[in-house]
């Protein structure tokens, strides 16, 4: 397998119209990891599933990951960013169905959510987006 065919994990932040969730796609294995901080099944969002399923793959396997859940209706975007960051920090191409042992918890604490908020703000400042 040459480098262009090497396995990769592509992250797709997806907004359902009022809620952010994360799709992590391994196109070589035709796997979509579905991370939703509200715990909904991917069938809750049929437009998302149709969009992904019609992109030329033969048979896509959807895997719902038991990720940390939010306790309110406003932090979904930060949870999505945190899921992405946790996965990138470990450098893995497979996400366990019960999430990563290193980051496993039922809920993120306020400090964990604030940490990703701060990182996002610092990132945006460095890009000079918020000047």
Domain 3-126 CATH (choose: 3.30.565.10, 3.40.395.10, 3.30.450.80, 3.40.309.10): 3.40.395.10
> For 38-62, what is the mean pLDDT?
83
> For 103-119, what is the mean pLDDT?
90
In tens, the pLDDT along 52-77 reads: 876 666 688 999 999 999 999 999 99
Question: Which position has the token pair 């969002």?
Answer: 45
Is pLDDT above 90 for 25?
yes
pLDDT higher for 3 or 89?
A: 89
Is pLDDT above 50 for 1?
no
> For 24-48, what is the mean pLDDT?
91
Q: Find which of 46-55, 78-87, 97-106 is predicted with most confidence, using mean pLDDT.
A: 78-87
Between strands 20-26 and 61-64, the pairing is unpaired
* CB < 8 Å & 24+ apart, contacts of 71-76: 71/107, 75/37, 75/113, 76/19, 76/20, 76/21, 76/37, 76/38
> For 19-31, what is the mean pLDDT?
93
Is pLDDT above 70 for 16?
yes
């Amino acid at each position: 397998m040459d480098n262009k065919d090497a396995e990769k994990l592509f992250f797709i932040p997806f907004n359902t119209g009022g809620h952010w969730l994360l799709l992590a796609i391994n196109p070589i294995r035709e796997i979509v990891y579905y991370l939703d901080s509200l715990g909904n099944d991917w069938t809750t969002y049929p437009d998302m599933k149709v969009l992904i399923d019609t992109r030329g793959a033969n048979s896509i396997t959807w895997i719902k990951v038991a990720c940390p859940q939010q306790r309110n209706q406003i932090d979904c975007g930060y949870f999505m960013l945190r899921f992405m960051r946790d996965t990138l920090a470990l450098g893995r191409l497979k996400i366990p169905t019960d999430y990563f042992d290193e980051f496993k918890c039922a809920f993120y604490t306020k400090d964990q959510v604030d940490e990703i908020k701060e990182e996002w703000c610092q990132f945006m400042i460095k890009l000079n987006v918020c000047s």
